[in-house]
Amino acid sequence: MQETYQECDVLIIGSGIAGASVGYFLLNEQPDTSVVMLEAESTTSFHTTGRSAAFLLPFYGGDKVAPLTKFSKLFYEESPENFTTTPLLQHRGALHIANPDQMHSLERYYKEAISFIPELEMQTKEDVCARVPILNDNYVAGGIYDPDCYDLDVSAIHHGFLRGFQTAGGELYTNAQVVEISPNEGGGWLVASKAGVFKTKKLVNAAGAWGDKVAEMAGVAPIGLMPLRRTIVVCPLGEVDKQWPLVIDIDDGFYFRPEGEGLLASPGDETPSEPCDCQPEEIDIAKTAHDLEAITGKVVAKIDSKWAGLRTFTPDRVPAIGFDTGFDGQHDGFFWCVGQGGFGIQTAPAIGQLSADLLLGRPINTELLKQGVKPDSFAPKRF
Ligand SMILES: Cc1cc2nc3c(=O)[nH]c(=O)nc-3n(C[C@H](O)[C@H](O)[C@H](O)COP(=O)(O)OP(=O)(O)OC[C@H]3O[C@@H](n4cnc5c(N)ncnc54)[C@H](O)[C@@H]3O)c2cc1C
């Protein structure tokens, strides 16, 4: 590896929402830390962060993830001065729907979620169809209305984190793919990238779908990350009321919500993939149209736009946040911040704050603990 290098306290690999929020909270907590962020692409939101469906569902991801979302919602509601000039949340509401075969799933979800979201309302078939009249009453058997669901302004959130990071002295390099990582003899890591070589005390792996590849490069055991492709389609579908809630299948299958004059919809696909710039497949676009037609009884005549992105999960679908424990001290300072699956935007402030506290060896933020976040449940050593 080249002999001249730039030194820093913390180096973050990846500038998606994970890397951006960690960088932001690190410098917020300890402004004299020198932090470098390296991004392989020429822009910061090229991969998953730029491809989300942009909503916040309080219980999405289950009971370990829900407290992260609770903390993050508070941050989005009252973001610090200079973070943004636009509201980050817009009220939407969510309607979980079930067909006759799924009524048991509806009851199970209600029992699990009601302690987190006391506002949940069970809905009859008639209630559901009155809320979203485009739904086919031959398909729907019942539902649950969750008033506490929001559209997120992902671009404003992501850029709020990146701007805050850079304003506080953080250095962001794009076109800076990391190609080699080796432990430094005196401790820490040497990281070679297309933008130069860096020596860092601590290394943050926020590389999304590439998380295991980055670990392998550093000689750290992978944790079994699963990048799963998900497809989104935007299309017109008759008269759409922009105030309709997000409509989502109770078993985490298809969903749709108003977008512009039409609907944004997904079949809820989860196709295993290598880390890559994934594109929507014809079969998933056709399935989205088929599902929408079955659920609404309307014909999808035209697709306005489509995309796909990788939602990356750990083996237990709970994020991995914390230092790798290693086995001989060789892995000192290798920090995982991966596995945000389908909830990485709605949990970013909590994951950023928790990561910063762990990286700096500080007591965990009291508001995180108050909202029920249990840092141990994210410890990478469980894999
Ligand atoms: C279709 C879809 C819908 C979604 N809907 C929602 C939603 O409604 N709400 C929600 O909260 N979440 C949603 N998500 C999930 C959310 O988008 C992700 O959890 C989040 O964006 C993951 O962020 P990340 O920073 O980990 O990954 P990314 O945004 O992929 O960032 C990782 C970055 O690391 C870089 N990188 C990788 N390897 C290297 C290397 N060797 N050197 C340098 N850089 C490297 C990559 O180029 C990339 O930019 C959705 C995801 C998809 C795909």
Q: How far, in Å, CA of 304 to CA of 234, rounded?
A: 6
Residues in the chain, total: 383
**Which residue CA neighbors atom 18 of ligand 1 most closely?**
344
Cβ of 268 closer than 6 Å to ligand 1, yes or no, is: no
Per-residue pLDDT in tens (0 to 9) along the chain, 383 residues: 666 999 999 999 999 999 999 999 999 999 999 999 999 999 999 999 999 999 999 999 999 999 999 999 999 999 998 999 999 999 999 999 999 999 999 999 999 999 989 999 999 999 999 999 999 999 999 999 999 999 999 999 999 999 999 999 999 999 999 999 999 988 899 999 999 999 999 999 999 999 999 999 999 999 999 999 999 999 999 889 999 999 999 997 899 999 999 999 999 999 999 999 999 999 999 999 999 999 998 999 999 999 999 999 999 999 999 999 865 555 689 999 999 999 999 999 999 999 999 999 999 999 999 999 999 999 999 99
Q: Which domains does the chain have, with CATH numbers?
A: 6-71+154-225+316-382 (3.50.50.60), 94-147+226-313 (3.30.9.10)
Distance from the alpha carbon of residue 345 to the mean position of ligand 1, in angstroms: 9
Does an H or E element contain 272, and which?
Answer: strand 271-272
Partner residues linked to 352 by β-bridges: none
Q: Distance of CA 295 to CAs 269, 286, 345, Å? A: 17, 14, 28
Q: How many CB atoms lie within 10 A of CB 279?
A: 11
Distance from the alpha carbon of residue 16 to the mean position of ligand 1, in angstroms: 6
CB 201, CB 187: distance < 8 Å? yes
3-state secondary structure at position 246: strand
Q: Distance of CA 174 to CAs 37, 41, 204, 210, Å? A: 8, 6, 16, 16
Q: How far, in Å, CA of 347 to CA of 343, rounded?
A: 6
In 3D, which of 10, 30, 13, 37 has the Cα closest to residue 333? 10
Distance from the alpha carbon of residue 3 to the mean position of ligand 1, in angstroms: 33
The pTM assigned to this predicted structure is: 0.96
Cβ of 52 closer than 6 Å to ligand 1, yes or no, is: yes
Distance from the alpha carbon of residue 206 to the mean position of ligand 1, in angstroms: 9
Dihedral (CA of 52, 56, 61, 66) sign: positive
Cβ of 41 closer than 6 Å to ligand 1, yes or no, is: yes
Q: Which atom of ligand 1 is nearest to the CA of 20?
A: 25
In 3D, which of 163, 145, 169 has the Cα closest to residue 93? 145
Distance from the alpha carbon of residue 137 to the mean position of ligand 1, in angstroms: 36
Q: Which atom of ligand 1 is nearest to the CA of 231?
A: 1
